[in-house]
Amino acid sequence: MSSVEAFDVVDLIRTKRDRGELSTPQIDWLIDAFTRGYVADEQMSALAMAILLNGMERREIRDLTMAMIASGERMSFASLDKPTSDKHSTGGVGDKITLPLAPLVAVFGVAVPQLSGRGLGHTGGTLDKLESIPGWRAALTNDEMMVQLADVGAVICAAGSGLAPADKRLYALRDTTGTVEAIPLIASSIMSKKIAEGTGALVLDVKFGSGAFMQDYERAEELARTMVALGTDAGVATTALLTDMNVPLGLAIGNANEVRESVEVLAGGGPADVVELTLALAREMLTLAGQPDADVEGALADGRAMDVWKRMIRAQDGDPDAPLPVAKETHVVTASRDGVLATQEALPFGIAAWRLGAGRARQQDPVIHAAGIDLHAKPGDEVRAGQPLFTLSADDAARFPRALEALEGAYTIEDTAPPRGPIVRARIEA
């Protein structure tokens, strides 16, 4: 290969700074040169900031996504004799939907290859939650994954470092340079990994509101449209649901307690909002895989989804019947007056659970599986003075004051509560 570089990265930074467009060869070179270490972190950071401020055209975002895919391996499920359908959530507080969803969809003969991550900051990670189950193993080889997909039909495991390595480096830079929130960068980051994973269909759960990446609905919708277009252009049947993340999902926020709640859903019970979203996403994933009429409620009610869950956990060395960890210390917060719980803001509850030890501040930190928050009331519920509103759990009582500080003003009791709309606000398709 020639040692002469095709472009000068400073020209590319200037182009974006001055609101110009980068060509396809420029973007291909940029990502390749960044992956090789030729483009320095500070140069890529400057470019990320220019993209955050000035945006990118749809063609540029597609080129960026394809270049990030080309930086690593591309998986294929073509050898499976069943369709594949996956889901990605942009993350929220109490979002454990992947846990009941993957086995539920697999009941219908559609394979679900869920390559998941660990949590950072106030949003939890699916792998952290599942690691509360004694023995459960997140790391699978590609061969193990294929065998499990063929046999059980659902896999939730760690994404290997081979998928879109350029995104991994770029994401780490964005995290430390205030450039995470750029829609072209979020969309290409998420979609490069999902397209490289090789799923045939993909449903995006794009969240808006207090506990979401995108606080306002319009920006969440723009992100959803951008990602749906990227998936569709790459030949992946992709749709998105825009869902409300102003209030925590369900009654459990943490790790072990979110597994417990997911198992309740798989047993045909569980909180109404978790069930509603699980069913909506399952219907969407199955529709894209050619089964619009699948009886998803029936599969939760009659134990078929639970059977797949147990097989899925056992296949990864977990014991689905083992007791989950329980915290050493608890602290109950009660209602100060009679009334109706009017607000319960997702973000402060996510931060409080994180401060209790359920989340991590640095990628290398461990999480405390038993730490978290159990809610005893949801907005709209009537409460009486002295009634428990929520319970904090931690291994060390010294964590309670900072968690309680995060929750100041996060919930209110009034005479009446504003009505809550449905969780799923819109469906976006290409």
From the list 193, 196, 200, the residue with the least C-alpha distance to 81 is 200
Q: From the CB of 3, what's the least distance to ligand URA, in Å?
A: 33
From the list 12, 16, 14, 59, the residue with the least C-alpha distance to 31 is 12
Question: 96 or 118, CB closer to ligand URA?
Answer: 118
Fill in the per-residue mask, 245 to 284: x = in contact with ligand URA (CB under 6 A), - = not in contact.
----------------------------------------
Active-site positions read 88, 167, 174, 189, 193
The verdict on 7 binding ligand URA (CB under 6 A) reads no
Question: 171 or 217, CB closer to ligand URA?
Answer: 171
Fill in the per-residue mask, 185 to 214: x = in contact with ligand URA (CB under 6 A), - = not in contact.
xx--xx------------------------
Contacts of 217 (CB under 8 A, 6+ apart): 208, 242, 425
The strand pair at 85-89 and 112-116 is best described as: unpaired
Stretch of 74-82, 184-192, 283-291, 397-405 contacting ligand URA, by CB under 6 A:
184-192
Do residues 346 and 209 make contact, with C-beta atoms less than 8 angstroms apart? yes
Stretch of 19-27, 45-53, 183-191, 368-376 contacting ligand URA, by CB under 6 A:
183-191
Question: 46 or 341, CB closer to ligand URA?
Answer: 46
Q: From the CB of 193, what's the least distance to ligand URA, in Å?
A: 6
Q: From the CB of 37, what's the least distance to ligand URA, in Å?
A: 21
Question: 191 or 247, CB closer to ligand URA?
Answer: 191
Q: From the CB of 274, what's the least distance to ligand URA, in Å?
A: 22
Footprint (CB under 6 A) of ligand URA, residues 135-174: 171
**Euclidean distance between CA atoms 125 and 98, whole angstroms:** 10
Residue 417: CA count within 13 A, CB half-sphere:
20
Footprint (CB under 6 A) of ligand URA, residues 293-352: none
Q: From the CB of 189, what's the least distance to ligand URA, in Å?
A: 3
CA-CA-CA-CA torsion for 105, 268, 259, 172, nearest 10 degrees? Answer: 40
Q: From the CB of 174, what's the least distance to ligand URA, in Å?
A: 7
- Site residues (CB under 6 A) for ligand URA? 171, 185-186, 189-190
